[in-house]
Structure 1
């Protein structure tokens, strides 16, 4: 921490297929910089909007710095800077109210950033309204959302760290939601749909809580979401749900519980794949990807991906697991040519 404080005091001053989403800004607003930082956190008094953040990392000693923001969103992975050198990185962040789950608390106005990593050192920072930003909106449940408290994390909470400056993630996933409740709540679909602009990507993963939704209703709800996105000029992307960590005796995942077949016999991933094919919607088959990964890790190795060790929870992911799953989503977005490879981080 002492190294970080010294680095802040010795800061160097820097010169200054999807839609553009310019941030709202105060008239005459100047670039905001390191004067808004103290110790291991920064606060910027900005209105809701989309902002580019440029950081200059490093100090007198070797450092490793990560940046998170708002409601525990991972914005920049741990980045190394050799002793005496500076490393510049940039990312784009969505600022809104509520800042986390749409039905959650408002959070703190403005943009809040937290410095982490094993040896953090910030030399300079600049925050500016984004002039050209590619927007990805997320519609989902607790396995996707910006979880407010540790040890929980949704994959959407970890996705921003894989995206470079010019791509923002607006995570409107919300805990406990099904296709029925998401469509019916004005704080959810009623809020998200008007925000979709021509060319926006909208990733939809809703299944875990559709436990009593019959197949006809579930299929119709997915179609409604797809058509709503398209009506706004956006591009819908259907995402099959992450698996539950529920093994058979032979080391494979259980076909019903793990692979999300509900009590009415509705096989959610199968229906999602079918709707995607029928409507010509890009599909991220996260069920298949996470199934392969969890089975490869086995009964013991897969515990760290979920919250089994903390809460005997086989549905919700740890920060580690959410980060791994966000990486799978990133890979699929690139493979489907939905996000250019030049705008993603490894």
Structure 2
């Protein structure tokens, strides 16, 4: 069921009681669309059953919450509305105007929803590649696509990760860093995770490109944070990840190690997703860790780089634990129950 709700007029609610029809709440049954312009918005939700929320290009705004019969749970989250909804290239289309919300979970019940503009919300920008991207269509998912579910209302996750992007292309293409940089405001946090597609980038160029990204964020008053890349599902016979799995490029450049050194030299925070995801995969083992990635059993396809929805949530959890351990200012917005 879809409903269109103008933000600045009375809320139109389907299947709502008379009291609901004259309040700021609308009843969302299945999916709903709010007629709002681009910007940051706080979503307040009253949930029952086993119900969560996805927004826009399948971003996970709220993980399903299981409630007891007759119990309501109130949750709030801040999200961005933009065009295109998904990756900044717009390769998967512009999406639908306004804010799209879809109920998720094993047994989603109708939810009461209220949407409020938050133009001064602190923002978390994500500069990355396909491993973090907002994938509009199944089955791929990026870890930053799951990041909103770990934050209570406050910061808005602005995911500008682009499939195929390297440090070279993200700087050069006008749709990427030249577009994102002017959006950054003083105090915004900018997560930079680019490595997977720097397959033939020399160490010298990679270092220089990371420094250019960091300098560009700082020039806007933002706070740059380097994030080492998630590992690939590439195991050797010893049960350990291979150099390819650990994102060593074809020139032999250990890209995560370079990123760690750049963070140390620049005196900026580093979130070591490489080390965290290596520990996770090697702890599970080759077979048991496949569900984190894309697998298609009927035709034998196994994607060792891109994540399932489950994997995106697990890797996002690793990122937020690193945020908490690094004592980033954003950490006080994290949901304690999701850590």
| TM-score normalised by the chain length of structure 1 | 0.88
Runs of 5+ unmatched residues, structure 1 = 17-30
CA distance, structure 2, for counterparts of residue 200 and residue 113 of structure 1: 25
CA distance, structure 2, for counterparts of residue 248 and residue 308 of structure 1: 19
CA distance, structure 2, for counterparts of residue 15 and residue 276 of structure 1: 53
**CA positional deviation for 1:287:** 0.5
Which of 256, 259, 273 is residue 286 of structure 1 equivalent to?
273
Structure 1 vs Structure 2 CA RMSD: 2.0
The farther-off stretch of 83-92 and 298-307 is 83-92
Query: Corresponding residue for 2:235?
Result: 247
Which of 52, 66, 75 is residue 42 of structure 2 equivalent to?
52
1:312-323 equivalent positions in 2, closer than 5 A: 312-323=302-313
For the 8 Å contact 2:188–2:222, the answer to whether it is kept is yes
1:273 aligns with 2:265: no
**CA positional deviation for 1:257:** 0.7
**CA positional deviation for 1:343:** 1.5
Query: Corresponding residue for 1:34?
Result: 26
CA distance, structure 2, for counterparts of residue 73 and residue 11 of structure 1: 32
Structure of higher RCO (CA pairs closer than 8 Å, 6+ residues apart): 1
* Superposed CA offset, 1:90-134 (max 9, x none): 111101111110002211111000001112123421101015422
Query: Corresponding residue for 1:102?
Result: 88
Query: Corresponding residue for 1:261?
Result: 248
For the 8 Å contact 1:7–1:122, the answer to whether it is kept is no
**CA positional deviation for 1:8:** 4.3
For the 8 Å contact 1:11–1:124, the answer to whether it is kept is no
The farther-off stretch of 303-312 and 245-254 is 303-312
Query: Corresponding residue for 2:220?
Result: 232
Give runs of ≥4 in structure 1 deviating > 3 Å. 6-16, 339-342
CA distance, structure 2, for counterparts of residue 8 and residue 80 of structure 1: 22
1:1-346 equivalent positions in 2, closer than 5 A: 8-10=15-17, 13=20, 33-34=25-26, 37=28, 39-58=29-48, 63-104=49-90, 105-130=93-118, 132-254=120-242, 256-309=243-296, 311-345=301-335, 346=338
CA distance, structure 2, for counterparts of residue 12 and residue 189 of structure 1: 47
Instruction: Give aligned pairs, total.
Output: 320
For the 8 Å contact 2:33–2:99, the answer to whether it is kept is yes
CA distance, structure 1, for counterparts of residue 210 and residue 287 of structure 2: 35
For the 8 Å contact 1:56–1:124, the answer to whether it is kept is yes
For the 8 Å contact 2:57–2:85, the answer to whether it is kept is yes
* Superposed CA offset, 1:189-229 (max 9, x none): 01100000001000000000011111111110000000000
**CA positional deviation for 1:161:** 0.6
